[in-house]
Chain A
Amino acid sequence: MTELTWVRVCALADILPLGARTIPHRKGEIAVFRCGDDSIFAVLNRCPHKQGPLSEGIVHGHRVACPLHSWVIDLESGEAVAPDIGCTPKIPTKIEDGAVWLAVPA
Chain B
Amino acid sequence: MLPISRERLVVVGNGMAGMRTVEELLKLDPTRFDIAVFGAEPHPNYDRIMLSSVLAGEKQVDDIVINTRAWYEENDISLHTGDPVVKIDPKARTVTAQSGLTVPYDRLLLATGSKPIVPPIPGLNLPGVCAFRDIADVDTMIDASTKHRKAVVIGGGLLGLEAAWGLKRRGMDVALVHLMPTLMERQLDETAGKLLQRDLTERGIAFFTNGQTEEVTGKDRVTGIKLADGRGAPADLVVVAIGIRPETTLAREAGLEVNRGIVVGDNLSTSDPDIFAVGECAEHRGQVVGLVAPIWDMAKVCAHHLAGGGELIYTAQVSATRLKITGIDVYSAGQLAAGEDEDEIVLRDARRGAYRKLVMRDGKVVGTVLYGDVTDGAWYFDLIRRRTDVSDIASRMILGQAALGGGTQEPDVAAMPDDMQICGCNGVCKGTIVDTIKAKGLDSYEAVKAHTKASASCGSCAPLVRQLLAATLGVEVTGPAIPTVCKCTDHTHEEVRTQILKQKLKTQAAVREAMAWKTPDGCASCRPALNFYLLCAWPGEYQDDSRSRFINERAHANIQKDGTYSVIPRMWGGTATPAELAAIATVAAKYDVKEVKITGGQRLGIYGIKKPDLPAVWGELTDAGLVSGHAYAKGLRTVKTCVGLEWCRFGTQDSTSLGKQLERLTWGNWTPHKFKMGVSGCPRNCAEASIKDFGVVCVESGFDLLVGGNGGIELRGTDRLCHVATEAEVLEYCAAFMQLYREEARYLDRTAPWIERVGIAYVRTRIVDDAEGRKVLAEKFRHAQSFLQDDPWAERANQGVDATEFKPLPALV
Interface residues of A (CB under 8 A from B): 7, 9-10, 14-19, 21-25, 29-30, 32, 35-37, 50-53, 56-61, 65, 67-68, 70, 72, 102, 104
Contact = CB atoms under 8 A, between A and B. Distances in A.
B547 A18 contact: yes
Given A18-B547, A21-B804, A60-B527, 20 more contacts: A9-B809, A17-B547, A19-B547, A23-B810, A23-B811, A24-B811, A29-B808, A36-B521, A51-B563, A57-B524, A58-B527, A59-B547, A60-B522, A60-B523, A61-B519, A61-B520, A67-B551, A68-B561, A102-B812, A104-B812
B547 A67 contact: no
A16 B520 contact: no
Contacts of A59: 547
A58 B550 contact: yes
Contact of A53 (B519, B546, B548, B563): B563
A58 B522 CA distance: 10
Contacts of A9: 809-810, 812
18 contacts: A9-B809, A9-B812, A14-B804, A17-B547, A18-B547, A21-B809, A24-B811, A25-B811, A25-B812, A32-B809, A36-B520, A52-B563, A56-B555, A56-B559, A58-B527, A61-B520, A67-B550, A68-B559
A15 B811 CA distance: 16
Nearest to A36: B521
Nearest to A105: B812
B241 to A, nearest CB: 52
B521 A61 contact: yes
B428 to A, nearest CB: 48
B433 to A, nearest CB: 45
A102 B808 CA distance: 15
Given A37-B520, A59-B547, A61-B521, A24 B561 contact: no
A106 to B, nearest CB: 10
A22 B563 CA distance: 13
Which of A9, A32, A60 has most chain B Cβ within 10 Å?
A: A60
B524 A60 contact: yes
A70 B523 CA distance: 12
A10 B559 contact: no
Contacts of A70: 524
Interface of B: 519-524, 527-528, 546-551, 554-555, 559, 561, 563, 804, 808-812
> Nearest 7 pairs between A and B by C-beta?
A65-B524, A24-B811, A36-B521, A56-B551, A58-B524, A67-B551, A18-B547
Which of A7, A52, A58 has most chain B Cβ within 10 Å?
A: A58
A104 B523 CA distance: 30
B155 to A, nearest CB: 54
Given A36-B521, A56-B559, A67-B559, A7 B551 contact: no
B811 to A, nearest CB: 4
A76 to B, nearest CB: 15
Contact of B812 (A24, A57, A60): A24
A50 B562 CA distance: 9
A24 B808 CA distance: 7
Given A52-B563, A68-B561, A72-B524, A60 B519 contact: yes
Contacts of A36: 520-521
A23 B812 contact: yes
B508 to A, nearest CB: 10
A16 B521 contact: no
B607 to A, nearest CB: 16
Contacts of A61: 519-521, 523
A50 B811 CA distance: 24
A52 to B, nearest CB: 7
Contacts of B523: 58, 60-61, 65
Contacts of B550: 58, 67
A23 B520 CA distance: 28
Contact of B809 (A14, A51, A68): A14
A21 B808 CA distance: 6
A16 B547 contact: yes
Contact of A22 (B519, B522, B527, B808): B808
A12 B804 CA distance: 13
B557 to A, nearest CB: 11
Contacts of B519: 60-61
Contacts of A58: 523-524, 527-528, 547-550
Nearest to A27: B812
Contacts of B520: 36-37, 61
Contacts of A72: 524
A102 B810 CA distance: 13
Nearest to A9: B809
Which of B519, B559, B561, B808 has most chain A Cβ within 10 Å?
A: B808
A50 B524 contact: no
A31 B131 CA distance: 70
Contacts of B527: 58, 60
Contacts of B811: 23-25
A95 B242 CA distance: 85
A29 B611 CA distance: 14
Given A58-B524, A60-B519, A16 B804 contact: yes
A60 B519 CA distance: 9
A25 B547 CA distance: 25
Contacts of A17: 547
Contacts of A65: 523-524
Contacts of B546: 16
B809 A50 contact: no
Nearest to A50: B561
A29 B812 CA distance: 10
Contacts of B554: 56
A25 B810 CA distance: 9
Contacts of B809: 9-10, 14, 21-23, 32
A57 B554 CA distance: 10
Contacts of B561: 50, 68
Nearest to A30: B812
Nearest to A19: B547
A21 to B, nearest CB: 5
A48 B316 CA distance: 75
A96 B524 CA distance: 30
A60 B517 CA distance: 13
Contacts of A60: 519, 521-524, 527
Contacts of A15: 804
A15 B805 CA distance: 9
B171 to A, nearest CB: 35
A95 to B, nearest CB: 15
Contacts of A14: 804, 809
A90 to B, nearest CB: 16
A60 B521 CA distance: 6
B523 to A, nearest CB: 5
B632 to A, nearest CB: 11
Contacts of B551: 56-57, 67
Contacts of A25: 811-812
A39 B549 CA distance: 21
Contacts of A23: 808-812
B522 to A, nearest CB: 6
A26 to B, nearest CB: 8
Contacts of B524: 57-58, 60, 65, 70, 72
B521 A18 contact: yes
Contacts of A19: 547, 804
Contacts of B804: 14-16, 19, 21
A101 B781 CA distance: 47
A39 to B, nearest CB: 12
A89 to B, nearest CB: 15
Contacts of A29: 808
Contacts of A68: 559, 561
A25 B551 CA distance: 23
A61 to B, nearest CB: 6
Contacts of A51: 563
Nearest to B562: A51
A25 B809 CA distance: 10
